[in-house]
A = this chain, B = another copy of it.
């Protein structure tokens, strides 16, 4: 299986604690690194996770609250000090560019690389990234300002060739790509060898959904159906459900309901309120609804 991993750089919420950094994650898809949110200290945690800045080209910001983007200033400056030349793409809801550009210009007199902003409307699902093996699509959320999650979805990969059958029929090399993509093989004698005899299906494409910050929002279930890993915010415990609603956040129980309804394979909860010294209370509530739940934790790395 090719690499598809999630690194947690920070999983606290807005108020700092001695236990957590504010929100930031790295999705590693075949050694391409994608950052989701960039709270204060994200670059320090990035280093601590032994990741390589040179592999990071895209940053996705869910919404313009400080605990999700204040780390951009330091990160962009550091990449400049390191003499980066590759473009850096920052995808976000509208408004970030106008805020950051004056800061970037003042604090980095001579930029060695370009920062390109891609601003989107967070109201509708939009595919904001695509490469050969992956798409990233926004997941509209409901928070106190325009906000969205992100769905990282692998593309269906070509079938695997059955080496023995290829040898047996002496299929020439130049035919292999067509066959991987489903074509039958016609021998020089005109015999048709069905594709199913030459290949076996590749693994199902995997997907990761990031949902933070948001009020409990069952309407997202449709879009994240069957994800392999769901990260959902669980800022509050059940007893603080009124506070969750008031501040447009989710409880651990509600996050677990979303995972269950979506048929997610695994759930990770995070964006913990500073009020919980021991987050096992959140874990316990979520596990009661969705057993395969785990707590996010700084420098944790899991396979999708």
Interface residues in chain A, defined as those with a beta carbon under 8 Å from any beta carbon in chain B: 14-18, 21-22, 40-41, 43-44, 47-48, 64-67, 70-71, 73-74, 77-78, 81-82, 95, 99, 102-103, 106-107
Kindly list chain B residues whose C-beta atoms are within 8 Å of the C-beta of A99.
Answer: 102-103, 106
A-B pairs, 4 with minimum CB distance: A40-B74, A41-B41, A66-B77, A66-B107
Kindly list chain B residues whose C-beta atoms are within 8 Å of the C-beta of A78.
Answer: 14-16
* Bound complex: CA A181 to CA B18 (Å): 45
Q: Which of B40, B65, B74 makes the CB contact (< 8 A) with A44?
A: B40
The residue on B at minimum CB distance from A77 is B66
Are A16 and B40 interface neighbours, CB within 8 A?
Answer: no
Are A16 and B47 interface neighbours, CB within 8 A?
Answer: yes
For residue A7, give the distance in angstroms from its CB to the closest CB of chain B. 14
The residue on B at minimum CB distance from A10 is B44
Are A15 and B70 interface neighbours, CB within 8 A?
Answer: no
Q: Answer whether A14 and B77 are a contact pair too, CB < 8 Å, given A41-B41, A106-B99.
A: yes
The residue on B at minimum CB distance from A44 is B16
Additional 10 contacts, C-beta under 8 A, given A16-B78, A17-B47, A40-B74: A14-B77, A15-B81, A16-B47, A21-B44, A40-B41, A40-B43, A40-B73, A66-B77, A70-B70, A70-B74
Are A66 and B73 interface neighbours, CB within 8 A?
Answer: yes
For residue A37, give the distance in angstroms from its CB to the closest CB of chain B. 14
Are A64 and B106 interface neighbours, CB within 8 A?
Answer: yes
For residue A267, give the distance in angstroms from its CB to the closest CB of chain B. 27
- How many copies make up the complex? 2
* Bound complex: CA A15 to CA B81 (Å): 7
Q: Which of B18, B21, B74 makes the CB contact (< 8 A) with A16?
A: B74
Kindly list chain B residues whose C-beta atoms are within 8 Å of the C-beta of A106.
Answer: 64, 95, 99
The residue on B at minimum CB distance from A104 is B66
Kindly list chain B residues whose C-beta atoms are within 8 Å of the C-beta of A15.
Answer: 78, 81-82
For residue A252, give the distance in angstroms from its CB to the closest CB of chain B. 22
Kindly list chain B residues whose C-beta atoms are within 8 Å of the C-beta of A16.
Answer: 43-44, 47, 74, 78
Kindly list chain B residues whose C-beta atoms are within 8 Å of the C-beta of A102.
Answer: 99, 102
Q: Which of B17, B103, B107 makes the CB contact (< 8 A) with A65?
A: B107
Sample (8) of A-B pairs whose CB atoms are under 8 Å apart: A14-B78, A14-B81, A16-B47, A18-B48, A40-B71, A40-B74, A66-B73, A66-B74
The residue on B at minimum CB distance from A46 is B16
The residue on B at minimum CB distance from A41 is B41
Kindly list chain B residues whose C-beta atoms are within 8 Å of the C-beta of A66.
Answer: 73-74, 77, 107
* Bound complex: CA A218 to CA B64 (Å): 46
Q: Which of B21, B41, B73 makes the CB contact (< 8 A) with A73?
A: B73
